[in-house]
Amino acid sequence: MHTSGNHTTVLLNEAVDALLAGAAAPAHDIDPAPARGRRFVDATFGRGGHSRLILSRLSPADRLTVFDKDPEAIAAARALGDGRLDIRHEGFCRLDALPAASVDGVLMDLGVSSPQIDSPERGFSFRFDGPLDMRMDTTRGQSVADWLAVAPAEDIARVLRDYGEERFAGPVARAIVARREQHGPLATTTELSQLVGTVVRSRDAQNPATRTFQGLRIFINGELDELQQALDASLRVLRPGGRLVVISFHSLEDRIVKTFVAEHSREVFDRRAPFAAPKPMRLRALDRVKPGDEEVRANPRARSAVMRVAERTEVDTEAADAGTAETRA
């Protein structure tokens, strides 16, 4: 476990160990790793906990590509001053910009980071009064406040239900629209939190606004769509034997990852050609890891984390050919 500022990296050693293990011995049909150097991807740099440990274990010939939407995360990456870093200020769905079969491991640590949550001006948390923003990338896109100022009640309800799993999505959405019509649009996290509290009656210690804030954050940042795109891209960019390591923090994310790994961990038969050889599986599911009791006690945020590990079994011929052409270009 590593603490950077006020952010504690979850499953730090477990994730990095799993990521690097797949590149220890290159497959027999590709160039030896020492001759080319290895390439890894930290698809969600955050405050760099995983990246720092990865870099400490890489050789001078290896490279680490990091992605993040957050300008503050990009600044933290540049502050490392490591020449082996390839820093990209964009979402990790842009994994598809990397050449095919060029990467030895991809790590995704999903969700929002502690510095983002703990910064009132970012608007991620109902614990602080701040502008109702929630954008991962503050340099572009629509804030939550902007969207709620114009969205119909049925669209708001759909977002809260589908992304926040809020049972009272309809009543919350109607309350937001009624507030907008009577007193003007919501502008701050406190205004939204207090409004939701008049509609939702939580039966446990959870704040009534928790699911509403989650749903709006996931929607405004397109998090689930981006995750699916990044997973699809990982199949294309991973070398044979390369590892895919994904840490998720709620059921919506983990369900997508679990389904993706399961779907590509079996042979595919073409019903239109029953006698044709099946397409071989593209991933091999390796592990599912939860934080231990000691880590959860030290960092309660780790309680809901699930890490899934899979290994690339082969590279599609068309993708590999395309990657070769890209490299030559």
| pLDDT at residue 171 is higher than 50 | yes
pLDDT digits (tens, 9 = 90+) for 289-324: 999 999 999 988 889 999 999 999 975 544 444 444
pTM for the full predicted model: 0.86
- pLDDT score at 315: 59
- pLDDT score at 204: 73
- pLDDT score at 314: 77
> pLDDT: is 8 or 113 the higher one?
113
Kindly indicate the confidence band of residue 191, based on its pLDDT and cuts at 50, 70 and 90: very high
For the chain, domains (ranges, CATH) are 2-114+223-328 (3.40.50.150), 137-220 (1.10.150.170)
| pLDDT at residue 126 is higher than 90 | yes
pLDDT digits (tens, 9 = 90+) for 30-66: 444 445 699 999 999 998 999 999 999 999 999 999 9
pLDDT digits (tens, 9 = 90+) for 75-95: 999 999 999 999 999 999 999
pLDDT digits (tens, 9 = 90+) for 148-163: 999 999 999 999 999 9
Average pLDDT, the chain: 88
| pLDDT at residue 229 is higher than 80 | yes
Cβ-in-10-Å burial (0-12, 13-18, 19+) of 44 comes to: buried
pLDDT digits (tens, 9 = 90+) for 5-23: 455 789 999 999 999 997 6
Single-letter amino acid code for the residue at 49: G
Tell me how far the alpha carbon of residue 269 is from its chain's centroid: 31
